[in-house]
Amino acid sequence: MFEKTLVLIKPDGVKRKLIGKIITFYEDKNLIISSLKMIRANDKIVEQHYVEHKDKPFFSDLINYLTEGNIVAMVIEGENAINLVRKINGATDPLTADMGSIRGMFGIEKQRNLVHASDNIDNAEREIKLWFPKVENEK
């Protein structure tokens, strides 16, 4: 199924100058980057983004991490884009992520894990609307 998904390159990915390498992983699998911007996110948008983790013990650390520097937000499109991007990113913990994945190759720790990608169709739609409000997302 042709799908859209939301990907964030987190502040550690930007600081470590991995933007180009990370985007190449997606493009090399024939996925399309259909929207892209660099932003410094505020607490409000990150709290909304991670609403399902709001009761987790690491929630406030996660907000601090995502707001500590610039991030790159992208909409990525293609056949089975949601699961394909998650496979390319690798498991949350770089220790268990496949070695050929972004986190397997470049990840150092579980929280600061370089990238985020939507985990299902509903979240993809919600996250795309959050980071790319309607007017900007219309072509």
Query: What's the min distance (Å) between Cβ of 86 and ligand CMP?
Result: 9
Instruction: State the nearest-atom distance from the C-beta of 53 to ligand CMP, in Å.
Output: 6
Sheet with 71-79, side-by-side order of all strands: 32-39, 71-79, 2-9, 115-117
Site for ligand CMP (CB under 6 A): which residue of 6, 7, 75, 116?
116
Q: Is 49 a catalytic residue?
A: no
> How many residues at the interface with ligand CMP, by CB under 6 A?
8
CA distance 107 to 111: 10
113 part of the interface to ligand CMP, by CB under 6 A? yes
95 Cβ contact partners less than 8 Å away, ≥ 6 residues apart: 110
Burial class of residue 67 (count of CB atoms within 10 Å of its CB; 0-12, 13-18, 19+): middle
Is 83 known to sit in a ligand binding site? no
Q: Does the protein bind ligand CMP through residue 110 (CB under 6 A)?
A: yes
62 contacts ligand CMP (rule: CB under 6 A): yes
The tokens describing 92, both together, are 């949350």
Which one is catalytic: 41, 101, 116, 132?
A: 116
Binding site for ligand CMP (CB under 6 A): 53, 58, 62, 92, 110-111, 113, 116
